[in-house]
């Protein structure tokens, strides 16, 4: 689930506030409502490469490649010029990358700060501030060779002291860093010389590279940490430097001409806040923006066939799912969960709720670990007869009700998904009692596992352990809402994460996916699309599954 903020709650409160003001006022009147805003945790990283020896392929930087590329993606190596304007519905919510949760914040700060390693558009690990790394001591020590000649925005040189101070800041509980749980196996950080940083772990942890690639693990200037100025004015080593922020209006970044990966193709980058997606579409038609970021399929459908911009659809790592609470009867019976998983025709959910934009998915969405999305299920999804038989075998042939929570206002398809699932499951006698909740009450019910079923949009990652370790390992931080404890799932996750042998990882995570589908703690449905409206003047923009906008570091404008 991601955490875009509570639109409807806020709208209701706005109305209530208006009413309060009005009723307290002699003449009286009412308030008003509406709007849009997002937020959530992003993560990155993927694929095999894993620990052990890894490339130091010098300066490829953000110049990744990848899926869905904008029309005319030639790369013009002209001097940085022009202002690239990105329109999106929400604003950054804080300036500290270690605390960032909103997508907008992660997207923006990811262009200002760097991390030790990065991922390319296919989710593969590539060098970042570290040019190479190697493991020793059975995978419990990782030594990073740092990039030479990198400078902070104020001109100071980047050194291993910055790495040490940054990681220690994340690990300090008082920081409340979002990514702390993903780095919790780090016991200490050494900086033996300015160009080398060494991480000591309590156990081998392959997922740590992907955790380190996240914006939440950005390397900060040690001087800023000591001075307590982190979060005031961003001071990074990324392709853009921080210029200004007018809350709820725009963020302006300037090209960092000294960037180690090469100077950006535009002189400045502006993120504008246009709360209504329809208005973003209108602005693109009028040529006011170079890039529009949308999430609502119904708005994106209106963007087809425009003459001055292209619609790019990018499947994302996050996934739409119906979580079942296996601690409550009758969902504690395996066959009941399997019956529900069998009864749901995933494609029908995509067609009705998401205008057909989406891909049926199994539990693992990483491009590096693509397996059959149904292998493990006892029957073909949509097979109602098999589902009814499973219910009868479980002694629940008479049907039952499930309290099902649905989050409203966070993402466009939630309610339609719930209603479609309700219609489909009614055919096998399972009645979903839908409870539509705004974000905060939904999050509370979700964290307390106060539901039989929960329709959710959960964040994905390129690393399977980062996706499911938190839910299905015995010491995971979200085992309660996971709804099911399984020794087998725990063992598979721990095994996959403690090896850097790619063949073993592939086999282990394939088995993990199969076991998840067999045990059916949840009903995995589909991966949705993000939509980018890309002006025909833009060259070199690449949409990514992890929703990162790092390709803006090399995008250019023509005309």
User: Which positions from 481 through 520 interact with other proteins, judged by CB under 8 A?
Assistant: 481
Task: For residue 303, give the DSSP letter.
Answer: G
Our CB check for other proteins shows the closer of 130 and 170 to be: 170
Q: Does 76 bind other proteins (CB under 8 A)?
A: no
Query: 539 φ, ψ to 5°?
Result: -125, 140
From the CB of 443, what's the least distance to other proteins, in Å?
Answer: 5
Q: Do residues 540 and 551 touch, judged by C-beta distance below 8 A?
A: yes
Q: Which is nearer to other proteins, 39 or 344 (CB)?
A: 39
Residues 8-37, interacting with other proteins (CB under 8 A): 9-11, 13-14, 16-18, 20-22, 24-37
Tell me the three state secondary structure of residue 544.
coil
Q: Where are the alpha helices (DSSP H) in 205-345?
A: 208-212, 222-227, 277-285, 297-300, 334-343
CA dihedral (39, 533, 267, 250) positive or negative: negative
| Residue number, 144 or 309, with CB nearest to other proteins | 309
As measured in angstroms, the least distance from the Cβ of 89 to other proteins is: 9
**Residue ranges in 452-481 that form contacts with other proteins under rule CB under 8 A:** 470, 477-478, 480-481
- Subset of 287-306 contacting other proteins (CB under 8 A): 287-288
Instruction: Please identify, among the stretches 3-11, 74-82, 339-347, 525-533, the one whose residues bind other proteins according to the rule CB under 8 A.
Output: 3-11
Among 272, 337, 346, 388, binds other proteins (CB under 8 A): 272
Among 60, 73, 132, 276, binds other proteins (CB under 8 A): 276
Number of residues located near other proteins, criterion CB under 8 A: 84
CB within 8 Å of 61: residues ≥ 6 apart: 118, 239, 259, 260, 261, 262, 553
- Rounded Cα distance between 142 and 241, Å, is 30
Dihedral of CA 378/383/387/388: which sign?
negative
Nearer to other proteins among residue 220 and residue 386 (C-beta): 220
Where in 143-202 is the site for other proteins (CB under 8 A)? 173-176, 178, 180-181
Please report how close the Cβ of residue 326 comes to other proteins at its closest, in angstroms.
Answer: 18
Beta partners for 127?
Answer: 117
3-state secondary structure of 40: coil
Pick from 249, 250, 276, 273: nearest CA to 34: 276
Of residues 91-130, those binding other proteins (CB under 8 A)? 91, 93-94, 101-102
Using alpha carbons, list the distances in angstroms from residue 337 to 191, 197, 383, 468, 559. Answer: 51, 47, 14, 19, 57
Q: Which two tokens stand for residue 322?
A: 């119906």
Nearer residue to other proteins within complex by CB, 3 or 542 = 3
DSSP state of 69: B
Contact residues for 58 (Cβ-Cβ < 8 A; gap 6+): 127, 131
Place of tokens 């425009």: 306
Q: Which is nearer to other proteins, 65 or 278 (CB)?
A: 278
Is the Cβ of residue 307 or residue 503 nearer to other proteins in the bound state?
307
| SS3 of residue 170 by DSSP | helix
Task: State in angstroms the smallest separation of the CB of 178 from other proteins.
Answer: 6
Q: Angle at Cα 284 formed by Cα 280 and Cα 287, nearest 5°?
A: 135
Binder of other proteins out of 159, 439, 486, 535 (CB under 8 A): 439
State how far the alpha carbon of 1 is from the alpha carbons of 39, 177, 187, 394, in Å: 11, 19, 30, 30
- Cβ nearer to other proteins, comparing 62 with 405: 405
If one asks whether residue 283 binds other proteins (CB under 8 A), the answer comes out as yes
Q: Which is nearer to other proteins, 252 or 338 (CB)?
A: 252
Considering the complex, what minimum distance in angstroms separates the CB of residue 364 from other proteins?
19
- Judged by beta carbon, residue 302 or residue 347, the one nearer other proteins is 302
> Can you tell me whether residue 180 is helix, strand or coil?
helix
User: In which element (H, E) is residue 166 found?
Assistant: helix 160-171
Is 327 an interacting residue with respect to other proteins (CB under 8 A)?
no
One of 447, 474, 475, 507 touching other proteins (CB under 8 A): 447
CB of 251 to other proteins, least distance (A): 11
Shortest distance, CB of residue 556 to other proteins, whole angstroms?
Answer: 21
Q: Which of 47, 270, 396, 417 binds other proteins (CB under 8 A)?
A: 270
């Amino acid at each position: 689930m991601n955490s875009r903020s509570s639109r409807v709650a806020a709208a209701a409160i706005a109305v209530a506030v208006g009413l309060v003001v009005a009723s307290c006022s002699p003449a009286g009147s009412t308030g008003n409502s509406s709007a849009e805003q997002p937020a959530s945790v992003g993560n990155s990283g993927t694929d095999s490469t894993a620990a052990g020896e890894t490339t130091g392929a010098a300066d490829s930087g953000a110049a990744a490649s990848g899926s869905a590329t904008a029309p005319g993606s030639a790369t013009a190596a002209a001097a940085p010029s022009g202002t690239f304007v990105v329109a999106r519905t929400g604003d950054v919510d804080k300036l500290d990358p270690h605390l960032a949760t909103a997508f907008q914040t992660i997207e923006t700060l990811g262009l200002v700060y760097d991390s030790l390693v990065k991922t390319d558009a296919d989710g593969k690990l590539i060098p970042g501030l570290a040019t190479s790394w190697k493991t020793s001591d059975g995978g419990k020590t990782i030594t990073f060779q740092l990039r030479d000649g990198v400078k902070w925005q104020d001109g100071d040189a980047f050194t291993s002291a910055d790495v040490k101070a940054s990681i220690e800041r994340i690990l300090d509980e008082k920081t409340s860093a979002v990514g702390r749980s993903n780095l919790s196996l780090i016991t200490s950080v050494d900086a033996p010389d300015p160009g080398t940083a060494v991480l000591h772990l309590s156990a081998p942890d392959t997922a740590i590279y992907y955790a380190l690639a996240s914006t939440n693990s950005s390397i900060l200037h040690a001087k800023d940490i000591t001075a307590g100025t982190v979060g005031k004015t961003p001071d990074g080593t990324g392709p853009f430097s921080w210029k200004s922020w007018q809350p709820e209006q725009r963020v302006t970044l300037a090209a960092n001409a000294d960037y180690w990966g090469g100077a950006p193709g535009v002189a400045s980058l502006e993120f504008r806040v246009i709360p209504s997606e329809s208005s973003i579409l209108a602005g693109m038609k009028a040529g006011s923006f170079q890039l529009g970021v949308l999430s609502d399929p119904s708005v994106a459908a209106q963007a087809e066939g425009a003459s001055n911009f292209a619609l790019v659809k990018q499947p994302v790592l996050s996934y739409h799912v119906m979580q079942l609470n296996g601690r409550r009867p009758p969902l504690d019976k395996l066959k009941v969960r399997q019956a529900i998983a069998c009864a749901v025709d995933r494609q029908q959910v995509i067609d009705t709720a998401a205008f057909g934009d989406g891909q049926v998915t199994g539990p693992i969405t990483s491009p590096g670990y693509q397996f059959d999305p149904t292998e493990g299920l006892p029957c073909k999804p949509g097979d109602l007869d098999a589902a009814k038989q499973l219910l009868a075998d479980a002694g629940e042939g008479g049907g039952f009700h499930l309290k099902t929570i649905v989050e409203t206002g966070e993402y466009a398809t939630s309610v339609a998904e719930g209603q479609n699932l309700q219609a489909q499951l009614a055919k096998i006698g399972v009645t979903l009692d839908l409870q539509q909740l705004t974000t905060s009450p939904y999050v509370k019910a979700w964290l307390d596992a106060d539901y039989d079923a929960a329709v959710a949009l959960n964040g994905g990652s390129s690393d399977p352990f980062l996706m499911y370790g938190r839910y299905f390992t015995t010491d995971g931080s979200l085992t309660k809402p996971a709804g099911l404890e399984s020794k087998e799932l725990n063992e598979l996750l721990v095994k996959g994460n403690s090896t850097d042998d790619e063949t073993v990882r592939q086999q282990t995570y394939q088995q993990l996916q199969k076991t998840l589908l067999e045990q059916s703690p949840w009903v995995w449905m589909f991966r949705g699309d993000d939509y980018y409206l890309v002006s025909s003047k833009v060259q070199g923009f690449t949409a990514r599954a992890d929703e990162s906008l790092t390709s803006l570091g090399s995008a250019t404008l023509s005309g």
